[in-house]
Structures are given as C-alpha cells and as structure tokens.
C-alpha cells in the first residue's frame, strides 16, 4: 500500500513537472527568439531538455514499480540511476555549450535585447520554476524518491537561471538610467556564461552519486556499516567458519549477497540456515526496504 502511494505521488509530481516544462519551453524559445536574448533562449532550451527527461523519468517511475519478469529477472530498479546519469550528462552538456556560446558572443561585441518583453518572461519563468521546485522537493522528501529529487534539481537550476536573467535585465535598466547604456550589449552573454558555470554544479553532483550505483560501487555510508555490523554479530553468535558479503545499491533497491562457510553438516540443517536468513531479514529489512537478499551456505572456501 505504501509503495503504491509513493508511486502515485511520484507520477503526480512528474506530470506537474511535464506540464510546467511544456509551458516554459514555449515561452522561453518564443520570447528568446522574439527579444533576441540568448539567455532566455538558453532557459527555454533547458526547459525543452527537461521536458524530454521528465517524460523519461515518468516512464521510469512506472517501470521500477513493475515486478521482475523473464526479460529483467532482477527487476527494473537499475534503470533509475541509469536515467539519472543520462539526465545529468545532457544537462552538463547544455551548460558547456551555453558557456562557450556566451564567451563567443562577448568576444564578438555582444548584442542588443528588447528589455520590456524580456522582463515579462523573466518574472513569469522565475515564479513558475521555484513553485514547481518547492512542490517537488516536498514530495521527494516525504516519499524518498530519487527520481523526483533529481527532477526538482532541474527546476532549481532553471529557477536560478530565470532569477539571474531577471536580475540581469534589472541591471540593464539601471545602466540605462545612469547613462551607461553602451554596456548593455554585454549583459545577456555575460548572464549566459555565468549561469552556465553555476548551473553545472548540480548535474555534476547527480552524476557523481548515480554513476556509483550504475557501476555497483558499494555505498560507503551508515547503511553499509550497519550491514557489516549485523553480519559480523551473526558470525560471532553462530560461529561461522568464515563468510563474505557483497552489498550494492541500485536506484531504490539494495542487493545483498551473503556467503557463509560451514563445516558441520549435522548442525547446519536447512531449518537452521533458514533461521539465519530470517534473522538477517528481520535485522535489516526496515532500513533496506525492498532488498534483493541472497544467503548461501557452503562447505568449501572456494565458493565464498
């Protein structure tokens, strides 16, 4: 029931995000071309990119709720960090090209922008972006959803871009007022370059975290330490001859494999082996949630 509620809220958040991106993409690209602002055009293109990735995230939210089948026998959890990596790469690529475009425009002498219309877009976009960001942040936190959290970060980037564009255009009006209008040509490309650099921090963070999951790097956190502690305690209590364990996190699913060396066949009956499995599950299930747990017993060290 709780899982179904989480999936429902995820989809609601992502559908809201998709509707927002359609609106802001239309506004951004249209206004950017109309007023001649690369900063607004970048904002619109970023929304366009977000629209595609939000649609993909929405489909991913549906996939990870499905049980394993004959094609994906370990389930669909691994798709979530993979989508987040693709998402992060696309955002980072957009930031790099935007930075290069801004610097090139500055070198070429900048360009004029129709300020009055640009201000209308900047206000609307800033309000919409931060509104959706706060809604998604609340849902991501309450439902522990990485998909919604990553999507909310895209809205944060877009909101920062829009807010900075707004500040920049206010700056243009101030320059005009004090007689420094000759510098107005450079405000738009300076905004593009600066915002691209600032926005690159978030996709780098997303990539660093999700690449670890795609590469099945063991989580180096309190969860890993707790797993180590529980298994070590069991080994001491039930006198394992030796053991190894392998632990990874993929999306919202943990994978835990425990291999236990036992040499007393009479003592280690099937019933006692199942008892160890149950003790492990009881000790870790609350923290690990939907865990793929595999516990094997062997009399030969080569299978550890």
DSSP 3-state of 246: strand
Question: Given pLDDT bands bounded at 50, 70 and 90, which one contains residue 5?
Answer: low
Average pLDDT, the chain: 81
Per-residue pLDDT of 194-205, as tens digits, reads: 878 877 887 888
**Domain ranges, ordered by start, for the chain:** 2-214, 222-303
Residue 84 has pLDDT above 60, yes or no: yes
Per-residue pLDDT of 87-112, as tens digits, reads: 888 888 888 888 888 888 888 887 77
Question: Given pLDDT bands bounded at 50, 70 and 90, which one contains residue 275?
Answer: very high
Per-residue pLDDT of 50-71, as tens digits, reads: 767 767 777 777 777 777 777 7
Q: 196-235: b or e for each residue (b if 16 or more CB lie within 10 Å)?
A: beebbebbeebbeebbbbbeeeeeeeeeeeebeebbeebb
Report the pLDDT value the prediction gives residue 130, as an integer from 0 to 100. Answer: 92
User: For the domain bounded by 222-303, which CATH number is listed?
Assistant: 3.30.70.1350
Question: Given pLDDT bands bounded at 50, 70 and 90, which one contains residue 179?
Answer: confident
pTM for this prediction: 0.66
Locus of tokens 């963070």: 205
Write out the CATH class of domain 2-214: mainly alpha
Report the pLDDT value the prediction gives residue 1, as an integer from 0 to 100. Answer: 43
Instruction: Return the structure tokens found at 162.
Output: 């829009």
Residue 6 has pLDDT above 60, yes or no: no
Q: In what order do the strands lie in the sheet with 242-250?
A: 242-250, 253-261, 291-298
Residues 164 and 170: their CA atoms lie apart, in Å, by: 10
């Amino acid at each position: 029931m709780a899982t179904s509620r989480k999936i429902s809220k995820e989809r609601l958040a992502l559908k809201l995000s998709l509707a927002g991106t359609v609106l802001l993409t239309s506004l951004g690209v249209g206004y950017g071309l109309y007023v001649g602002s690369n900063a607004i055009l970048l904002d619109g293109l970023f929304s366009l990119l977000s629209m595609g990735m939000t649609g993909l995230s929405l489909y991913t939210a549906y996939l990870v709720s499905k049980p394993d089948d004959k094609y994906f026998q370990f389930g669909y959890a691994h798709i979530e960090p993979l989508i987040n990596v693709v998402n992060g790469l696309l955002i980072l690529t957009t930031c790099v090209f935007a930075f290069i475009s801004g610097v090139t425009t500055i070198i070429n002498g900048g360009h004029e922008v129709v300020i009055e219309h640009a201000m209308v877009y900047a206000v609307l976009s800033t309000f919409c972006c931060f509104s959706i960001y706060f809604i998604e942040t609340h849902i991501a936190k309450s439902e522990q959803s990485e998909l919604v959290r990553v999507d909310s970060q895209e809205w944060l980037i877009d909101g920062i871009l829009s807010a900075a564009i707004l500040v920049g255009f206010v700056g243009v009006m101030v320059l005009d007022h004090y007689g420094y209008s000759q510098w107005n040509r450079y405000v738009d490309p300076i905004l593009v370059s600066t915002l691209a650099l600032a926005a690159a921090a978030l996709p780098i963070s997303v990539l660093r975290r999700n690449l670890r999951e795609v590469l099945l790097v063991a989580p180096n956190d309190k969860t890993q330490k707790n797993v180590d502690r529980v298994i070590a305690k069991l080994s001491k209590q039930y006198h394992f001859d030796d053991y190894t364990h392998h632990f990874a996190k993929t999306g919202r699913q943990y994978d835990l494999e425990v291999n236990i060396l036992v040499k007393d066949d009479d003592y280690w009956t099937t019933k006692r082996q199942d008892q160890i499995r149950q003790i492990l599950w009881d000790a870790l299930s609350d923290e690990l949630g939907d865990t793929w747990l595999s516990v094997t017993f062997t009399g030969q060290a080569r299978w550890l």
